[in-house]
Amino acid sequence: MATGWNSDVVAYSLVVGHATTDDAPRYTTLSAGVGLVSHLSCRGDCRLFSFSPDTVHTKNTFGLSLAGEIGFRTAGRGGVGIGLTTVGNINPEASFVALGLSVSGGRWR
């Protein structure tokens, strides 16, 4: 996930959680776990079209990862769905949150 031209955050997470499993058209999920976050920042002249030298600094840390989704799907045991997915990580170096649109398809359990 890019946070700007001179700073990047990369996160890898292992989460477990709970999802609604009934046949209702609306569904929700919520997960939590641990994540490894790598924060890469640039010091100096780091503009997009810069040709001067720069210094890259990387910090790694662990944090609390959270993920959740709310959406709607076709009723029944299969079909397609659309939802809003939120992911985030709370850590001492570069906490973040992101929101995305998700499309799903298949057989619901």
Would you write out the chain's pLDDT as a tens digit for each of its 109 residues?
444 444 577 888 999 999 887 777 888 899 999 999 888 777 666 666 666 656 677 889 999 999 999 998 886 667 788 999 999 999 988 788 999 999 888 876 6
Q: Where are the beta strands (DSSP E) in 1-109?
A: 2-4, 7-19, 26-44, 54-73, 78-90, 96-107
Q: Which residues pair with 52 in a beta bridge?
A: none
Residue span of the structural domain in which 52 resides:
2-107
- Specify the pTM: 0.71
> Based on the structure, what is the number of domains in the chain?
1
